[in-house]
A and B are shown apart, each in its own frame.
Chain A
């Protein structure tokens, strides 16, 4: 449902994506791993039009992604995004954050959105925090609200941009288990992550990206357990055995 074909993207003179071709099927969980600065996040940001790309093609369910075209709004309502730093709206309660998109973008009736919003907060284990503002929540709770906000759009896929990298280690588990439940429910997910255990357990496929190209990809277990490429082997060794 998400197709990337020969996507190039430069920031000034630095080319961060050097011809990315990949696809994500419906219901698939794809993890993107790789060193910092390799272009992982940029791929996600291009898919929902937060960044433009210079050449190549990205499409979501056949619709070309162009951040300057009116069609971008419909693509963004189909492909939600969860950010590393949560980016919840601090002046609104958890529940208001969740219903913001349904009510003001999708024009759903308020009462309906509220009911579904509460159900979504319950689904991420935060029913009792509905009326609390984000600054009063822990990082892990904020990220779970952000996931509920993404789900509220009833998206066909969710992009996760290092969703646990800004969390205290003891809060990572709560967020990952919510994500695992989503995957079990059949949500299409693209996850940029450094959580190798999550990738191994939950992902169907893993892409290893370095220097703006896909160095290696395949079923999660085979890429993570028997990496073929020297750069993948080196990266995994450093991540799994830092000492």
Chain B
């Protein structure tokens, strides 16, 4: 135990620099996936055949490709087409795109759960499709969407570790680097696990709060 505390004091500063990158990757890809997911979802419910079809196809393609392959593609293949991204950019873009498919399906479910009478009432006072979405449907859908959205946040936090495969020195990669140079696998990976858990707990509590609020009318 004493050895563990000693290791903690020694490795924590290095691991904390990894935490910073983990948080940057998570927040960046969360924002990107939310924006893209909302666009895919709105296209899907637009009632315009081309947009609906495009969005449905895109979501299936994204869902069918493993995150790690998407990351490899962005980081190793895109330069061959003249698009060179930094590891961090590729990580945020890759995770953002990968998760946009799940966000889109979640948002669509929320939008479609809104009573049709709400949309008719909005139309009956002359609102356009976009006004109906922005003023009537989306504000009500948020409540329905938030609990699963919180779960996506937790999953993204953990999946940000996949960025290590394209050399982003986030928490998991920092841990692996320390472990392979000190051979203190137990201390290092216990610490890494505890740090992920520590970051997850506020999100887990947030999800519980969202669920309680969604339960109330």
Contact = CB atoms under 8 A, between A and B. Distances in A.
A48 B126 CA distance: 10
Contact of A100 (B117, B120, B125, B140): B125
A90 B123 CA distance: 16
Contact of B128 (A73, A83, A90, A101): A73
B117 A105 contact: no
Interface stretch (B10-18, B131-139, B146-154, B156-164): B131-139
A93 B128 CA distance: 21
Contacts of B127: 101, 104-105
Interface string A165-196: 00000000000000000000000000000000
Nearest to B131: A104
Interface residues of B, number: 18
A83 B136 CA distance: 16
Tell me which of A87, A89, A105, A135 has the highest count of chain B C-beta atoms within 10 A of its own C-beta: A87
B69 interface: no
A90 B135 CA distance: 12
A83 B120 contact: yes
A87 B121 contact: yes
Nearest to B115: A87
Nearest to B118: A87
Interface in A73-122: 73-74, 76-77, 80-81, 83, 85, 87-91, 100-101, 104-106
A91 B139 contact: yes
A82 to B, nearest CB: 9
Contact of A105 (B118, B121, B125, B217): B125
Contact of A135 (B120, B128, B217): B217
* Interface of B (DSSP majority class): helix
B124 interface: yes
A153 B118 contact: no
A101 B125 contact: yes
* Interface of A (DSSP majority class): loop
A8 interface: no
A76 B139 CA distance: 23
A91 B140 contact: yes
B90 to A, nearest CB: 39
Interface of B: 115, 117-118, 120-128, 131, 135-136, 139-140, 217
21 contacts: A50-B120, A50-B123, A50-B124, A73-B128, A76-B125, A77-B125, A80-B125, A81-B120, A85-B117, A87-B120, A89-B118, A89-B121, A89-B136, A91-B139, A100-B125, A100-B135, A104-B131, A105-B125, A105-B131, A106-B126, A153-B126
Interface of A: 48-50, 73-74, 76-77, 80-81, 83, 85, 87-91, 100-101, 104-106, 135, 149, 153
